[in-house]
Amino acid sequence: MIVDTMPSDEQLFVALQMMIKKRVPKFQVKYKDESKWQKFIGKLAFFNRKYMTKYTTTSYPKVFFPSRKFVEDNKFKAFKVLAHEYLHLLDRKKRAVIFELFYAAPQWLMIFSLLAFLAFWFSNWWLMALTSLIALGPWPAFGRASLEMRGYGMNIAINIWRHGSIKDDTRQDLVEKFTSWDYYKMWPFEKAVSEWISEYEQLVYNVDAIKTEETILDQSEAFQDVYELLTGIEHG
């Protein structure tokens, strides 16, 4: 559904921040180029050269945009990015540490390699601990992929609610995000990602269906809030 009268992009961005604040009281917007911690992470993220300039990151309860200029240059893009991160914030709030472990798997398993310092060199325990370093490789990460697909499901929903559909180049861009180094090749299966995208697209279209079992609005309060902002229709 597309409404004829829309709030300005600035109003959408501000209103969304207010909505997030109600559900996540300690929520704050921050900027990577002003954060020493994010600059450090940016150097560790050698596989994604766009981490500091193109990607926004949630570190609960804060959302780090690349810079103030990134937000000011395109307020609607900033709104869409923040809506994506809003979903991550609510998922993190509900699942706490489970969210972090699920998102970082399997790479976080490399911490067991530190046990090598407690074992005798070249013993079986020492070798077993070191094998944990294998987890650092760009292995398929179902947890991260499924959580990010929820996030990008928000991008899909906003495109449909604002423009009526998603373009083919947008669909291809989403596929590349999951299969490329941007997210450390988290789910390098193009067909599976394409199917996910189609499933989320259908869930969005189901909102306007006369009879349906499930819609995107059933997935999270974040979808409900953004839907209300973009359409003026209160869910339920």
pLDDT in tens, 80-121: 999 999 999 999 999 999 999 999 998 877 766 665 555 555
Would you say residue 1 lies in a domain?
Answer: no
Would you say residue 31 lies in a domain?
Answer: yes
Would you say residue 64 lies in a domain?
Answer: yes
The pTM of this model reads: 0.90
The 10s digit of each residue's pLDDT in 55-70 is 999 999 999 999 999 9
Would you say residue 236 lies in a domain?
Answer: no
Cα–Cα–Cα angle for 216, 64, 25, nearest 5°? 65
Name which of 162, 223, 178, 182 is nearest 54 in CA terms. 182
Instruction: Give the relative orientation of helices 142-163 and 75-95 as an angle to the nearest 10 degrees.
Output: 140
Would you say residue 127 lies in a domain?
Answer: no
Please give the pLDDT value at position 231.
93
The residue length of the chain stands at 236
CB 160 within 8 A of CB 201: yes
Please give the pLDDT value at position 166.
93
How many distinct structural domains can be found in the chain? 1
Would you say residue 227 lies in a domain?
Answer: yes
Please give the pLDDT value at position 65.
98
What is 11-66 written as a DSSP string?
HHHHHHHHHHHHHSTT-EEEEGGG-HHHHHHHHH-TT-TTTTTT--EEETTEEEES
Task: Identify the band that residue 2 occupies on the pLDDT scale cut at 50, 70 and 90.
Answer: very low
> How does strand 62-65 pair with strand 28-31?
parallel
Would you say residue 190 lies in a domain?
Answer: yes
**Tokens read off for 228:** 């209300």
- Which range marks the domain in which residue 208 is found? 9-105+141-231
